[in-house]
Amino acid sequence: MTLQLNSQNLTELFREQLDSWEQARTNYEALDRVASKDVLVDGFPFKVQFNPARIVSSSAKVDAKSIQERRCFLCKENRPQVQKGLEYINGSDITNPYTVLINPFPIFPKHLTIPLLKHQDQLINGHFDAMLNLAEALPEYTLFYNGPKCGASAPDHIHFQAGNKGFMPVEKEMDKLDKEIIFRNSSSVLYEVKSGINGMLILKSDSKKESLEIFGKIYNVLDVKEGESEPMLNILCWFAEGIWNTVFYIRSKHRPSHYFAEGDANILLSPASVDLGGVFITPLEKDFIKISATDIRDILREVCISFEDLHILANRIKSIL
């Protein structure tokens, strides 16, 4: 029988998994030795970490051929026998439960992966309500979604991740960013961010229903690249003091040119939600040592849409809200 998600069961799951699963225990213990440095980029305080265990995700092959040839590691039948989980039912949809798992390659002191039990492509459309509900059900965590070509190492299986609230600088810095209101009513306010991090929208709302409606309108005006199934997006979401805080990063590119460069110009970094949230994860020590504010700024400019394109998008959104 699968246990259902609640605070007590989640605490027990962490305890049991770190007792019984050597790989996970080793990687969580290694977090205590992760090197970190602060890098100020246009007034935003990024953190850079050297985390060798994240090489699995940073270098993951996510092309169609590689995905087709490997077994999906999020499907229940392919997970390690030692990996256990908690069942989460999204609202009344009892036929499509999620499973809350301990991520064995952590960035956060407590890092969760939350796949749908059923094998479906990593597409946020039709699942954003689950993200909002999970944020409310996990008030000590920030939820995040990596699009299929926006850092997801399993683009063939819909899943979220979650990590300790307050870990990413954007959570504390969000209200300090230079922003312009796109839409406001008694329940919700939507902003475009004007400087610091390009391609960024922020939604604050005390209404789950309205958050879902506003997301749907944003989603429907975003461009979908030829051959892709959805717009390129990373999303952060957390629930605090009755407010759903959602950050959308509108992407233009999967991996920056630094990832493919040779020699000294190479930086093995495939940005996803946590990186865009202010914690750049470098699995190689050489990259941790050399990465600079200029490198981070250049990577952001490459992988997310420009401030100018965001303003055009904001005007399109404003016209339908």
pTM for this predicted structure: 0.94
Structure tokens at 317: 């959104």
Q: What is the homologous superfamily of the domain 7-318 according to CATH?
A: ATP adenylyltransferase (3.30.428.70)
In the prediction, which pLDDT does 202 show? Answer: 98
Provide, rounded to the nearest whole percent, the portion of the chain with pLDDT above 70: 95
- Determine the 3-state secondary structure of 98 from DSSP: strand
What would the pLDDT profile of 221-245 be if each residue is shown by its tens digit? 999 988 888 999 999 999 999 999 9
pLDDT class of 215 with cuts at 50, 70, 90: very high
Kindly give the pairing relationship between strand 179-184 and strand 141-146: unpaired
Distances (CA, A) of 298 to 82, 230, 267: 41, 25, 12
What would the pLDDT profile of 39-61 be if each residue is shown by its tens digit? 999 999 999 999 887 765 554 55
CB 132 within 8 Å of CB 107: no
Average pLDDT of the residues in 271-283 = 95
- Determine the 3-state secondary structure of 87 from DSSP: strand
Provide, rounded to the nearest whole percent, the portion of the chain with pLDDT above 90: 84
Q: DSSP states of 212-268 as a string? A: HHHHHHHHHHS---TT-SS--EEEEEEEETTEEEEEEEEBS-SS-HHHH--GGG---
pLDDT class of 167 with cuts at 50, 70, 90: very high
* 108 CB-near residues (< 8 Å, 6+ apart): 163, 164, 167
Structure tokens at 61: 């092959």
> pLDDT at residue 1 above 60?
no
* Spatial separation of the C-alpha atoms in residues 299 and 114, rounded to whole Å: 28
Structural domain boundaries in the chain: 7-318
In the prediction, which pLDDT does 52 show? Answer: 86
